[in-house]
Amino acid sequence: MDARERCLSSSSSPFVLEGLKSRVKWWGWCKEAFEAAEREDKPVLVDVGAVWCHWCHVMDERTYNDEEVAEFINKHFIPVKVDRDERPDVDRRLQEAAQLISGQSGWPLTVFMTPKGQVIWAATYLPPRREMGLPGMLEVLEAVLRAYREKRGEVEKFHEDLARELKKWHSPSPGEPRREGQAEVLAALAASFDEEYGGFGGAPKFPPITSWSC
């Protein structure tokens, strides 16, 4: 078993493990995948989905099972499969980037990154070839590869702009409680929970609506 198969097999997700049967030579989400991308100087293709996601399975069957698409991915990309239930942290970060880039998010989520983890482009469902107004995976792969190879400076600048916008998203608005303060409130609420009888604090245990609204 090579590093790619070990990385993929370390997941307990049925969605990720389905990648073992795919034409695409999937990795799991691991540092070795990005190290391979750095070593081979290839962009990373991240497919985020879940076993309960209908269109994730459709994309697996139609797009990633397409012989021409799979061959192109295997030759020019490091493909990484992620279960959003297993790695909600990765999903949340990439969903935010996709929302800023295209105004869309959801599953399947298709994200292209540099070996350093910088987002190049993002979309949701992509058919193998253009149809019903949706770009085809093949043309997207070609465009991303061309940008990665020929427009590194523009890719860097795009990532900087994206990171700046994401930082604004996470900055509290005037009058909004500090995140540290919110965490302290949550910790205090958790400590006051009555595990034997339920509710918070002592009698009469009315729901602390004011605290929850923080």
Q: Specify the higher pLDDT residue, 66 or 102.
A: 66
pLDDT confidence of residue 210? 47
Task: Using the predicted structure, report yes or no on whether residue 155 has a pLDDT greater than 90.
Answer: no
105: its two tokens: 């998010």
Distance between CA atoms of residues 183 and 21, nearest Å: 43
Instruction: Give which of 75, 24, 88, 84 is closest to 51, Cα–Cα.
Output: 84
pLDDT band, residue 160 (cuts 50/70/90): confident
Q: Are 97 and 59 in contact (CB under 8 A)?
A: no
CA 186 from chain centre, in angstroms, equals 27
Task: Using the predicted structure, report yes or no on whether residue 64 has a pLDDT greater than 90.
Answer: yes
Task: Using the predicted structure, report yes or no on whether residue 81 has a pLDDT greater than 70.
Answer: yes
pLDDT digits (tens, 9 = 90+) for 97-153: 888 888 888 999 999 999 999 999 999 999 999 988 889 999 999 999 999 999 888
pLDDT confidence of residue 209? 45
Q: Are 90 and 82 in contact (CB under 8 A)?
A: yes
- This prediction has a pTM of 0.77
